[in-house]
Structures are given as C-alpha cells and as structure tokens.
Amino acid sequence: MEVPDQKARRRLTPDDWADAALTAIAAGGLAAVAVEPLATRLHTTKGSFYWHFANRDALLDAALARWEERTTTDVVGEITAMDERGPADRLRRLITRVVGIAERDPVGPALLASAGHPQVAAALDRVTRTRIDLIVALFEGLGFTADDARRRALLAYSAYLGHAELAHSTPDVLPAAADERRAYLDDVLRALTAR
C-alpha cells in the first residue's frame, strides 16, 4: 500500500511561535494569544508549543522580545552604526526609519492598549527608555544640554506615538505623496532641532 504524498513539515522554532503570537496580538490583542488557536494557525499540535515553552507567559515573553528586537534593538543598532555620519544625519535617519515602522507595525498599538498587563508594561518600559535614551544622545550630539536634549527627546517620542496612532486610526490625514512626506518630515526635524 502506497502512502499518500504529504508535505514535509519543518520543525517549528520558538521564533515561529513568537511570530504567530505577534500576529495574534495585532489581530485581536493580548487575549488572542492562546495555545490552541495558534497551534491550529501553525498547522501543528499543542505538543509543539510545549516542546518550546513552559506556558503562555513564556510565549508572551518571547513574542515581546521579538517585537522589541525588530522595532527597537535593530533600529538602535542601525543608527549607532552610522558612525561616519553626524548626529543630524542619524536623527533624520531615525525619524524616517521609525515613522515607516510605526505605520506598518500593528503590534505596537495593540500592546499600548494592553499597557496595564505586567509583561507588556515591562516590555513597553524597556522599549520606551531605550528609544528615548537614543534620541537624547542624538540631541546631545547636536550640542543641546542634557536637560534640553531630554525635553526634546520626550517631545520627539510623543510626536512619534501620535504619528503611529494617526497612521493606524486615520491614515488619510498623513501626507501620502513622497514629496509631501519629505516636507512633513523636514518640518518635524526643523521643529525638534530649532534653537
């Protein structure tokens, strides 16, 4: 008797599960991270989940770490690696980069909606502090005092969060054409760096 052809399944990794959890968070919030529906989405069993994770909290930690890496750690690395460029170029690149990420990242707004959850709160605190510290360093590199750099960094981060909210709730109010978008980002940069 012949065995029907079956697609060879690759072994799922913790990252596969974390990515599925992030997709669930984006679609349905933190409550959507449940083992059985994720296993169904991944075409596997709960046993695969328990091979990699002790429980849902461990999966949530892995998903949050993956989101943090993609939206913060990688960006900080990219910006700080621009050693040959001055702080103004790095700030411009940072603003351009994070605006694009904010517009495409449905996970961030979903996490902000769950900011009271202890695991999410810890991740948001780490991410926010890391991001603000980078912005402070860039403003200090532009010659602003530590206090002024911190105030400007908070303003820049607040503007980023507002932009992210607009991008997800009412995207039509943001400039869509490339030249309008450049002018908008130039205005943001000028406002943040004005003496």
Res. 192: pLDDT tops 80: yes
DSSP summary character for residue 106: S
Cβ within 8 Å of residue 67, ≥6 positions away:
22, 107, 108, 111, 123
| C-alpha–C-alpha distance, residues 164 and 106, integer Å | 9
| C-alpha–C-alpha distance, residues 162 and 136, integer Å | 19
* Residue 38 and residue 21 in contact, taking contact as beta carbons nearer than 8 Å: yes
- pLDDT of amino acid 8: 47
- pLDDT of amino acid 1: 43
Mean pLDDT of the chain: 93
CA atoms within 13 A on the CB side of 144: 21
Tell the burial category of 167 from Cβ atoms under 10 Å away from its Cβ (0-12, 13-18, 19+): buried
Q: List the chain domain ranges.
A: 67-193
- pLDDT of amino acid 10: 74
User: Which alpha helices (H) appear in 42-177, and where do they start and end?
Assistant: 46-52, 56-68, 74-80, 87-104, 107-113, 118-141, 146-169
pTM equals: 0.90
Supply 150's token pair.
């911190």
* Residue 134 and residue 76 in contact, taking contact as beta carbons nearer than 8 Å: yes
- pLDDT of amino acid 9: 63
* Residue 25 and residue 63 in contact, taking contact as beta carbons nearer than 8 Å: yes
- Of residues 64 and 85, more confidence is placed in 64
Res. 5: pLDDT tops 50: no
